[in-house]
Chain A
Amino acid sequence: MGDIHEVPRPRIATGHLAQYIGQPVCFVGRVEKIHPTGKFFVLSDGLGKHTTVELSEPLDEEISGVIEVVGRVTNQATIMCVSYVQFREDKSPFDLELYNEALKVIHEFPEYFQCGTGRNT
């Protein structure tokens, strides 16, 4: 799925999962728990709602804190992860609630954030 990085990947929260089934998305959340097999983990978004992220290969490192996942939404409303980035919080913590506020704005005003919601033109 290398092409997923070539297309706009709207930023979503847990509440949007249902609308984006089958589509590439970008999800930012805090790691809540990791399955012992390392093949999936749960993230919570700015409202505290949980999303499950699946991996094709198990994790090869410890992840914690806030991470950004790029992937495709499955039929079960989980995210099939293609790539992820861990946010470093040593300089300042990442404000997930504020991020959620920004998400609300993006989705409320899609005419101004055309790449933000995956709806083009």
Chain B
Amino acid sequence: MTVRLSEGAIAAIMQGESVSKPVLQVMNTRAIATGTGPPRYRVLMSDGVNTLSCEYEQLRGAFMLATQLNPLVEEQRLAARCVCQVNRFIVNSLKDGRRVVILMDVNVLKTAEEVGGNIGNPQPYNEGQGQQRSAAPAASPAPSKPQQQNGNLSGAGAAAPKYHAPSHQFGRASAPSTVKTPGGSQAKVVPIASLNPYQSKWTICARVTQKGQIRTWSNSRGEGKLFSIELVDESGEIRATAFNDQADKFFPLIELNKVYYFTKGHLKTANKQYSAVKNDYEITFSNDTSVVPCDDAQHIPSVQFDFVSIADLENTPKDSIVDVIGICKSYEDVSKITVKANNREVSKRNVHLMDTSGKLVTATLWGNEAEQFDGSRQPVIAIKGARVSDFGGRSLSVLSSSTVVINPDSPEAFKLRGWFDSEGQLLECTSISDVRGGPAAGANANWKTLYEVKSENLGQGDKADYFSCVGTIVHLRKENSMYQACPSPECNKKVIDQQNGLYRCEKCDREFPNFKYRMMLLVSAWAGQGLVLLVSAWAGQGLVLLVSAWAEQGLMLLVSAWGEQGLMLLVSAWAEQGLVLLVSAWAEQGLMLLVTIADCVEYQWVTCFQEAAEFILGQSAAFLGELKEKNEQAFEEVFQNANFSTYEFRIRVKLETYNDESRIKATALDVKPVNYTEYGKRLVASIRRNAQLG
């Protein structure tokens, strides 16, 4: 039931040959305003091999419908996709070489609904070259697809008189090509790389790889709005901006990732600080600019991403522009902040991306993108042109020139999705943005055992190192644990007792009748390597905590039972040197012997300041200060009670030099109760890994 179109008919007509009753397919119809009188219809026809377009302004030729056939269009009988036979037509040759074919009598052979689609793969007819070129594949010796290359030159040169005269253009990389323009018209499509300010009439065929939001500005010189896009073709890329009226006109028409013919605009030197696009020039749309969709766009490269793995971002210099792709493992709520510079409120949202490297990075979205972001179901997010900042290590900021694509249709996205759904979501990731407060367990921590801290020489570089560990306090130094500090809220400097009831603070340069207590608690914490098998049972009788720890050096079996009578700590340790058996029983009445373990584990002195210290001791500094003065024994008890508690510590280590002596100083930034579930999981994973290493 297929109708055969008269292939080659269009080329023949254009070349002046006579053609009898060609069967053609209508691709499109368009009404031309005529002022007075009936409308004229221009039709885009296809013979299965070529089309003769009616879209473009500068035509090579066109099909027009004689007015007596207007009803065919108005009654929808002649409509896009229908197939008709042209019984009679006239060809008018215009002075400038254009040919207009007027259809006088037409039979609709098959209606649009019957046909259903385009027949064949017709290419816009172009007089400059032979028929074969336009027919897509095959015999043509010249490079077929990227036809705008220099291969066409010879043919095109002769046929291109009508375009603007000077054929020696400034710095043109390659001559204009004549292919792929709708209707094979005068307008030559030039490569983006050849655009320059000395040329005002040009056409490019390019894909929109980035489309920014409409932005408004208001300053002393006036106000307005604009939006920018980035265009790419095989020769290069360029940025284009539309202002005010053009912004209004083109913003709804231009879509990301689609290909258009852009004609006529104003070229000027690029303002590199607004974009990373590699071109010395950029386009500004003018009143003459036209933007027309291009159907045949396979040769135009699509949005090019050049992804950097999140782990590699750690080595990327700050302020670089990168492309990243990752799964949005978690995201925060949108918040509004005020930009001090112009007192405007802007929305922002942090999202956390993770990829197969196991690293997590925080990316900040702004404005509309932040508000409309939906991170439910952990989508894949690809960002082109994000800026790397050194906030918290390494983070990403999405600029107005960046493109954010959610769940892109690309192989990398599918790979990530598959990886995440099977193993990725169970993986514990480390954040390179050091974000605190992320609920995802372990997402912000660099878990180390104290042994690893020493063997990896953390803190000995130029910068401080940060890590987390689970440690048990084995000693608290209560001497010099508190000092008298300046009572001013922001100042914590130690005050000098003037011995006359007044205390002087050097920093504030003031004297006070009082002071506040500040804690500086030195705690030695002990963490072992290996497995902690944890069963914690709270029963009516008391707590039974069973821990067996396995370190490379030896085994430690630890049971602490804590009943109503008191704590019993049973430890047996096997080290290479031998066995140490430790029992310490500590009841409410008093303290019994405490012995430290030798050899199998490392210990570390850590300084805990105010909040951490108060947390460990369970009392405020002010209360403790008073207790020290009034009831020494109770004061000591507070310290005893805190001993042997286990916490998660977030520690900062740094090499510090004092009077020619260098020491590693460790400070506790945060002390939290141990999340045993997460701890247990980390340990099991660690054991499995070590087991595999043999």
Residues of A within 8 A of B (CB): 28, 68, 85-88, 90-92, 94-95, 98-99, 101-102, 105-106, 108-109, 112-116
Q: Is residue B555 contacting chain A, with contact meaning CB distance below 8 A?
A: yes
**Taking the nearest CB of chain A, how far is it from the CB of B486, in angstroms?**
39
The interface residues of chain A lying within 8 Å CB-to-CB of B676 are 92, 95
Mask, B206-234, CB within 8 Å of A = 1, is 00000000000000000000000000000
B680 x A95 contact (CB < 8 A): yes
Give the shortest distance, in Å, between B673 (CB) and chain A (any CB): 10
Task: Give the 6 A-B CB pairs with smallest separation, nearest first.
Answer: A88-B538, A85-B539, A102-B533, A112-B550, A87-B537, A101-B684
Q: Report if A102-B534 is in contact (Cβ < 8 Å); known contacts: A85-B544, A113-B548.
A: yes
Q: Which residues of A contact B548 (CB under 8 A)?
A: 106, 113, 115-116
Docked CA distance A109–B687 (Å): 10
18 A-B contacts, Cβ less than 8 Å apart? A68-B537, A85-B537, A85-B544, A87-B538, A92-B676, A92-B677, A95-B676, A95-B677, A95-B680, A98-B677, A98-B684, A102-B531, A102-B534, A105-B684, A112-B550, A113-B550, A113-B555, A115-B548
Please indicate the chain B residues that have their CB under 8 angstroms from the CB of A101 in the complex.
680-681, 684
Smallest Cβ distance from A92 to chain B, in angstroms?
8
A73 to B51, CA, bound (A): 88
Known: A98-B681, A113-B550. A91 touches B538 (CB 8 A): yes
Give Cα A108–Cα B684 distance, bound, in whole angstroms: 12
| B544 cross-chain contacts in A, Cβ below 8 A | 85
Chain B residues with Cβ under 8 A from A85's Cβ? 537, 539, 541, 544
Q: Assuming the A-B contacts A85-B544, A112-B555, are A105 and B539 also in contact, with contact meaning beta carbons closer than 8 angstroms in the complex?
A: no
Q: Are B684 and A102 in contact (CB under 8 A)?
A: yes
Contacts of B540 in A (CB 8 A): 86
Residues of chain B at interface, number, CB under 8 A: 22
Q: Are B680 and A102 in contact (CB under 8 A)?
A: yes
**B557 interface residue (CB < 8 Å to A):** yes
CA distance A102 to B557 in the complex (A): 14
Q: A85's closest neighbor in chain B, by CB?
A: B539
Q: B535 contacts the other chain (Cβ, under 8 Å)?
A: yes
A99 partner, pick from B535, B550, B557, beta carbons under 8 A: B535
Picked from B531, B539, B550, B691, the residue with its CB within 8 Å of the CB of A86 is: B539
Measured CA separation A23–B475 after assembly (Å): 41
User: What separation, in Å, do the CA atoms of A2 and B374 have in the docked complex?
Assistant: 62
Expressed in whole angstroms, the minimum distance between the Cβ of B680 and any Cβ of chain A is 5
- Interchain CB contact under 8 A, B531 and A105: yes
The answer on a CB contact under 8 Å between A68 and B681 is no
Q: Which residues of A contact B680 (CB under 8 A)?
A: 95, 98, 101-102
Nearest Cβ distance between residue B690 and chain A, in whole angstroms? 10
Within the assembled complex, what's the spacing in Å between the Cα atoms of A101 and B537? 18
* B residues near A92, Cβ cutoff 8 Å: 676-677
New contact pairs (14) apart from A86-B540, A113-B533, CB-CB < 8 Å: A85-B539, A87-B539, A94-B536, A95-B676, A101-B681, A102-B531, A102-B533, A105-B531, A105-B687, A109-B687, A113-B548, A113-B555, A116-B533, A116-B548
Q: Collect the chain B residues with CB atoms within 8 Å of residue A94's CB.
A: 536
Find the A residue at minimum CB distance from B533: A102
Interface of chain B residues 531 through 567 with chain A (CB within 8 A): 531, 533-541, 544, 548, 550, 555, 557
Q: Given A102-B680, A102-B684, A105-B531, decide whether A115 and B557 contact each other with a Cβ distance below 8 A.
A: yes
CA distance A28 to B546 in the complex (A): 13
Chain A: minimal CB distance from B501 (Å): 47
B-chain residues with CB within 8 Å of residue A116 when the two chains form the complex = 533, 548
| Complex CA–CA separation, A77 to B680 (angstroms) | 30
Closest to B681 in A: A98
| Cα-based distance from A114 to B677 in the complex (angstroms) | 24
Docked pose: A109 CA to B538 CA in angstroms: 28
A85 CA / B561 CA spacing, docked (Å): 13
Report the separation of the CA atoms of residues A81 and B540 in the bound assembly, to the nearest whole angstrom. Answer: 18
- B543-597 CB contacts (< 8 Å) to partner A: 544, 548, 550, 555, 557
Which residue in chain B gives the minimum CB-CB distance to A113? B548
Within 666-687 of B, Cβ neighbours of A (below 8 Å) are at: 676-677, 680-681, 684, 687
Task: Find the residue from A87, A90, A98, A99 having the highest chain B CB count within 10 A.
Answer: A98
Complex contacts, A106 vs chain B, CB 8 Å: 533, 548
| Residue of A with least CB distance to B534 | A102
What chain B residues lie within 8 Å of A99 (beta carbons)?
535
A64 to B50, CA, bound (A): 81
Q: Do A68 and B684 touch (CB < 8 A)?
A: no
Q: How far, in whole Å, are A112 and B555 apart by their CA atoms in the complex?
A: 6
Indicate the member of A88, A90, A102 with the most B CB atoms within 10 Å. A102
Q: Which residues of B contact A105 (CB under 8 A)?
A: 531, 533, 684, 687
Interface centre among A91, A92, A105 (most CB of B within 10 A): A105
List the B residue with the shortest CB-CB distance to A88: B538
In the assembled complex, the CB of A5 is this many whole angstroms from the nearest CB of chain B, namely: 12
Q: Using Cβ atoms and an 8 Å threshold, which residues of chain B touch A112?
A: 550, 555
A111 to B: closest C-beta gap in Å: 9
- Chain A residue nearest to B532 (CB atoms) is A102
Measured CB to CB, the nearest residue on chain A to B539 is A85
Digit string of B640-674 for contact with A (CB within 8 Å is 1, else 0)? 00000000000000000000000000000000000
| Whole-angstrom distance between the Cβ of B85 and the nearest chain A Cβ | 75
Complex Cα gap A102–B684 (Å): 7
Contacts of A108 in B (CB 8 A): 691
Q: Which residues of B contact A28 (CB under 8 A)?
A: 535
Which residues of chain B are near A88, meaning CB under 8 Å?
A: 537-539
Q: Hey, which chain A residues are within 8 Å of B557, CB to CB?
A: 115
Residues of B within 8 A of A115 (CB): 548, 557
Q: Shortest beta-carbon distance, B280 to chain A, in Å?
A: 61
Least CB distance from A65 to B in Å reads 11
- Tell me which residues across on chain B come within 8 A of A95, comparing CB atoms: 676-677, 680
Q: Which B residue's beta carbon lies closest to that of A102?
A: B533
